[in-house]
Amino acid sequence: MNTTSKSYGKMTSMNIDEIIKINKDSKREYEDIKAKNLKLNMARGKPCAEQLDLALGVLESLHARTEFDGSDGDDSRNYGVWDGLEEMRNIFSGMTGIPADSLILGNNSSLAMMFDSISKGYTHGYSGCEAWCKQSNVKFLCPSPGYDRHFAITEYFGIEMIPIPMLKTGPDMDIIERLVANDTSIKGCWCVPKYSNPTGITYSDEVVERFAKLKPAAKDFIIMWDNAYCVHDLSDTPDTLLNLFDECVKYGTEDNVLYFASTSKISFPGAGVAALGASKNNYSDLQKMLQTRSIGPDKLNQLRHIRFLHDVDGVKNLMQGHRGILEPKFDIVKDYLNNELSELGIANWSNPQGGYFINLDVMNGCAKRVVELCKNAGVILTDAGATFPYSLDPNDSNIRIAPTFPVLDELSQAMELLCVCVKLAASDKLMSDRV
Amino acid sequence: MNTTSKSYGKMTSMNIDEIIKINKDSKREYEDIKAKNLKLNMARGKPCAEQLDLALGVLESLHARTEFDGSDGDDSRNYGVWDGLEEMRNIFSGMTGIPADSLILGNNSSLAMMFDSISKGYTHGYSGCEAWCKQSNVKFLCPSPGYDRHFAITEYFGIEMIPIPMLKTGPDMDIIERLVANDTSIKGCWCVPKYSNPTGITYSDEVVERFAKLKPAAKDFIIMWDNAYCVHDLSDTPDTLLNLFDECVKYGTEDNVLYFASTSKISFPGAGVAALGASKNNYSDLQKMLQTRSIGPDKLNQLRHIRFLHDVDGVKNLMQGHRGILEPKFDIVKDYLNNELSELGIANWSNPQGGYFINLDVMNGCAKRVVELCKNAGVILTDAGATFPYSLDPNDSNIRIAPTFPVLDELSQAMELLCVCVKLAASDKLMSDRV
């Protein structure tokens, strides 16, 4: 992660008159923008319509009976093939580095596969251990800031969440190693290892290796490796992620991890294909659950994706199109932050090489205020705190910026407003601190 | 249900020489058929390719952006709309008689929605009661013979299954009412109320009304109303099913039922749309689970179905096409059974007016043998016993015939074999009984 390494020096070292001037200017600018009656929603990492247009080829009609034959001769319109079509598993294998025969395809939501995996631990346990619902005080590690929907799943099952600080190289592995070494009630850890949501960093090779080497006290420990942005590069110098699957084979820790990916942000968020990767033991364990739950996933949608994407090179070509649309949006966000805020030293932000988010840390105690100010002027951001377990940001400083959905002009308006709100909140805070 | 009301009279009242003759003839015929090296699978209720061709219009291409706009203006390619598109809920409403705003759409599997509903009871409970995993000795009522995949779900969660006899009017309500009245550990009941799998009967108005009036001791009692064959008529005199949703409103028992339906056997088994109906309380309870699990179901597949089916009349027209393909198949099965077995009085079978199955009851102690004999001659039937909880058919007499998938010629061959096997097993049994 490249963050602007400015300290909170400049505005904090101003005299009170200078701060009051910034405050007044910001207030005026804020009222001017508010008068425009904006109505923008930047809360979620949704692709924009132009991105979705790139994948329209997925939706070409299917007609002839021969088109429905899977490579095994099976009619893909009918029941069966619980783990999905081999050709689609091959595409995911190329994307994630997980062998195709270790992958299981789902329907349109990798989040649903994660929910089902946690639910499976809760109802039946992992690695032959007792179900989590029969154990007391089950806990999960939550590198934070992180993905709010991960935390919502753990919270739903009443699993206690332990926040783990995110460093520039990934979660703080010193803390994780220490915590899992002795506490059998810690059952797993959420991870978005590449272009992490929301910080945008990619786990370093050392961090991945340390996850592979992890020897938790709990035999039923599961790393939830959500590789949502594995091919979502936005730069000529994309990040690379060490292959955890291979590393775990080296260290004999295959059963400690479940892997997730999807085409939600490759083809269509509502109508893509999701995949789960697992060790042999976890695979057969999950097979029992999945085959009881359903006869199989939507194979016609897999067929559409196979026909359109062909292979991992097809995916990579498509992602170049996404980059063409998204890179200018990320640039607008970074330009506004650089131009409006870097001299004042009242915020830090990430410079991700891919993914869906830019991470903004404002002055401690100001995030909620900034999000509220934006909302009152018509721009919805992700709720402050949402990126932390129980929505509790200990510093009240983290804001997730999701630049993908708005058109360029709206994004500029929203960023102009956001920067004004950051200044307004910071100057208010500094003024009240000096009273 | 019309069953041939013959008693097991004729063959049982034969003298030993007559039985030996039938046995010898059957053995010879069996060996002749075996020599043909058949390879047919009649195990599952799968639609045939001709049926699937009827719905190819679902798979016409989608192109223009305007095509993706839901009635709320939302782009159906993107995230959102957790409960599904209103137009598709309207179609299910027309099919099931459940108000559209009481319906929630899933992906391609109503079985998965049933699994998730049972899982929800297990992990979080219903009606504010304690989760089933925290209660001891939880039980479910299982009208039998019934649907094996229902029983597999309850078994997966370790829920004790209590078989309930199936009468010609539906489950034996006297027994059900007596059992649920005092036992708080009985948490629900599986039902396929129309063209029941496998007996083909439709619950009488009285049975439906008694379900609506049911006052179980358990406040968290859930009737799993799997209306899989709601529009699957194969006759000019189709069965009609009283609307349980309306009945429950009358008696104030809305929270006792979850409703399920799908287009699996209307459009495509692997790529249809599933729906769940619920009372207001259950709806908001399930909403929390479903919104935590996934951002929403595949709306593009709903859009395809809306465009092709339009409304419930479109569904009914399509089902006429299915009937045209299926009715001759059901006739072949009934003709073989009538011609080969009715005089001998060694079997009873159903004469369903719709659905997917014909139910065959052979002589007690013979079902496993018949299925085994068929298998050894190349025809796979549903496992004997599969239609009972724990695969335990107390009489070893029930065989589920699934005539939909094979082509006519193969179905004739399979039925010829099946009838020979029924005679062979019955004569063997009668001969050994007399030793």
Question: Looking at the structure, do residues B301 and B320 belong to the same domain, yes or no?
Answer: no
Q: Which residue's entry shows tokens 């991890």?
A: A257
pLDDT the model gives residue A2? 35
Question: Looking at the structure, do residues A338 and A407 belong to the same domain, yes or no?
Answer: yes
What percentage of chain A has pLDDT greater than the value 90? Answer: 91
Task: Answer yes or no: is pLDDT of B1 > 60.
Answer: no
Q: Which residue's entry shows tokens 């997917």?
A: B356
Report which secondary-structure segment, H or E, holds A37. none
How far apart CA B347 and CA A280 sit, in angstroms, is: 46
CB contact under 8 A, B293 and A46: no
* Residue B337, min C-alpha distance to chain A (Å): 28
In a domain, A20, yes or no: yes
Question: Looking at the structure, do residues A33 and A87 belong to the same domain, yes or no?
Answer: no
CB contact under 8 A, B134 and A131: no
pLDDT the model gives residue B434? 84
Show which of B310, B329, B362 is a domain's final residue.
Answer: B310
Number of Cβ within a 10 Å radius of residue B417: 26
CB contact under 8 A, A301 and B301: yes
Q: State the CATH number of the domain containing residue A44.
A: 3.90.1150.10
Question: Looking at the structure, do residues B134 and B216 belong to the same domain, yes or no?
Answer: yes
Task: Answer yes or no: is pLDDT of B226 > 80.
Answer: yes
CB-nearest partner of B295 from A111, A153, A293:
A111
* Residue A116, min C-alpha distance to chain B (Å): 8
Q: Is the ipTM of this complex over 0.90?
A: yes
Burial classification of residue B49, based on how many CB atoms lie within 10 Å of its CB (0-12 exposed, 13-18 middle, 19 or more buried): middle
CB contact under 8 A, B301 and A298: yes
Q: What residue type is assigned to position B87 of the chain?
A: E
Over chain B, what is the mean pLDDT? 95
Banded model confidence at residue A65, pLDDT cuts 50, 70, 90: confident
In a domain, A184, yes or no: yes
Number of Cβ within a 10 Å radius of residue B292: 17
Instruction: HSE, CB side, 13 Å, CA atoms: give it for residue A313.
Output: 0
In a domain, A153, yes or no: yes
CB contact under 8 A, B268 and A78: yes
CB contact under 8 A, A115 and B294: yes
* Residue A432, min C-alpha distance to chain B (Å): 40
Q: A with B: how many residue pairs have Cβ under 8 Å apart?
A: 163
Residue A173, helix vs strand vs coil: helix
* Neighbour order of strands in the sheet with A398-401: A347-349, A358-362, A398-401
pLDDT the model gives residue A376? 98
Residue A362, helix vs strand vs coil: strand
Closest chain B residue by Cα to residue A290: B112
Neighboring chain B residues of A65 at a CB cutoff of 8 Å: 49, 53
- Average pLDDT for A302-314: 96
In a domain, B62, yes or no: no
Q: Which residues in chain A (138-167) have CB-CB distances under 8 A to chain B? A: 149, 152-153, 156-157
Q: Which residues in chain A (270-299) have CB-CB distances under 8 A to chain B? A: 270-271, 288-289, 292-299
How far apart CA B231 and CA A274 sit, in angstroms, is: 32
B91 closest CA partner among B215, B270, B359, B272: B272
Show which of B246, B279, B310 is a domain's final residue.
Answer: B310
Q: B339 — contact with chain A (CB < 8 Å)?
A: no
Task: Answer yes or no: is pLDDT of A121 > 60.
Answer: yes
Question: Looking at the structure, do residues A325 and A215 belong to the same domain, yes or no?
Answer: no
In a domain, A60, yes or no: no
In a domain, B358, yes or no: yes
Number of Cβ within a 10 Å radius of residue A1: 20
Q: B49 — contact with chain A (CB < 8 Å)?
A: yes
pLDDT the model gives residue A164? 98
Helices (H) and strands (E) in chain A, counts: 13, 13
CB contact under 8 A, B271 and A152: no
CB-nearest partner of A299 from B65, B134, B271:
B271
How far apart CA A434 and CA A426 sit, in angstroms, is: 12
Task: Answer yes or no: is pLDDT of A304 > 90.
Answer: yes
Residue A261, helix vs strand vs coil: strand
Residue B160 is part of which domain span? 69-310
Question: Looking at the structure, do residues A236 and A324 belong to the same domain, yes or no?
Answer: no
Q: A67 — contact with chain B (CB < 8 Å)?
A: no
Q: Which of A78, A109, A122 is the best substitution to test chain B (most B C-beta atoms within 10 A)?
A: A78
pLDDT the model gives residue B4? 38
- The reported pTM is 0.96
Task: Answer yes or no: is pLDDT of A23 > 50.
Answer: yes
CB contact under 8 A, A294 and B112: yes
In a domain, A143, yes or no: yes
Banded model confidence at residue A8, pLDDT cuts 50, 70, 90: very low
Closest chain A residue by Cα to residue B289: A156
Q: State the CATH number of the domain containing residue B304.
A: 3.40.640.10
Task: Answer yes or no: is pLDDT of B7 > 70.
Answer: no
Per residue in B96-112, pLDDT (tens digit) is: 999 999 999 999 999 99
Q: What is the DSSP string of A175-221?
A: HHHHHHHH-TTEEEEEE--SS-TTT-----HHHHHHHHH---S-TT-
Q: Which residues pair with B191 in a beta bridge?
A: B225
Closest chain B residue by Cα to residue A50: B65
How far apart CA B347 and CA B6 sit, in angstroms, is: 8
Q: A109 — contact with chain B (CB < 8 Å)?
A: yes
Task: Answer yes or no: is pLDDT of B200 > 90.
Answer: yes
Closest chain B residue by Cα to residue A153: B292
Q: What residue type is assigned to position B394 of the chain?
A: P
Question: Looking at the structure, do residues A347 and A247 belong to the same domain, yes or no?
Answer: no
Per residue in B238-294, pLDDT (tens digit) is: 999 999 999 999 999 999 999 999 999 999 998 999 999 999 999 999 999 999 999
Residue A160, helix vs strand vs coil: strand
Neighboring chain A residues of B49 at a CB cutoff of 8 Å: 65, 75
Question: Looking at the structure, do residues A243 and A161 belong to the same domain, yes or no?
Answer: yes
Show which of A288, A310, A332 is a domain's final residue.
Answer: A310
Banded model confidence at residue A63, pLDDT cuts 50, 70, 90: confident
Per residue in A269-290, pLDDT (tens digit) is: 989 999 999 999 999 999 999 9
* Residue B167, min C-alpha distance to chain A (Å): 28
pLDDT the model gives residue A12? 87
Question: Looking at the structure, do residues B240 and B379 belong to the same domain, yes or no?
Answer: no
CB-nearest partner of B115 from A56, A271, A293:
A293
Per residue in A188-244, pLDDT (tens digit) is: 999 999 999 999 999 999 999 999 999 999 999 999 999 999 999 999 999 999 999
- Average pLDDT for B34-61: 93
B353 closest CA partner among B337, B335, B332, B331: B331
Per residue in A321-341, pLDDT (tens digit) is: 999 999 999 999 999 999 999
Task: Answer yes or no: is pLDDT of B195 > 90.
Answer: yes
Question: Looking at the structure, do residues B293 and B375 belong to the same domain, yes or no?
Answer: no
Residue A393, helix vs strand vs coil: coil
- How many domains in chain B? 2
In a domain, A4, yes or no: no
Tell me the CA distances in angstroms from B14 to B21, B248, B344, one per residue in order.
11, 52, 10
Q: B76 — contact with chain A (CB < 8 Å)?
A: yes
pLDDT the model gives residue B215? 96
DSSP state of A69: B
CB-nearest partner of B270 from A49, A270, A296:
A296
A285 closest CA partner among A313, A261, A254, A318: A254
Question: Looking at the structure, do residues A331 and A430 belong to the same domain, yes or no?
Answer: yes
* Residue A90, min C-alpha distance to chain B (Å): 20
Q: Cα A255–A261–A266 angle (5° rounding)? A: 170
CB contact under 8 A, A269 and B115: no
Question: Does residue A153 contact residue A132 with C-beta atoms inside 8 Å?
Answer: no
Question: Looking at the structure, do residues B343 and B295 belong to the same domain, yes or no?
Answer: no
Tell me the CA distances in angstroms from A190 to A86, A111, A142, A147, A160, one per residue in order.
28, 12, 6, 9, 13
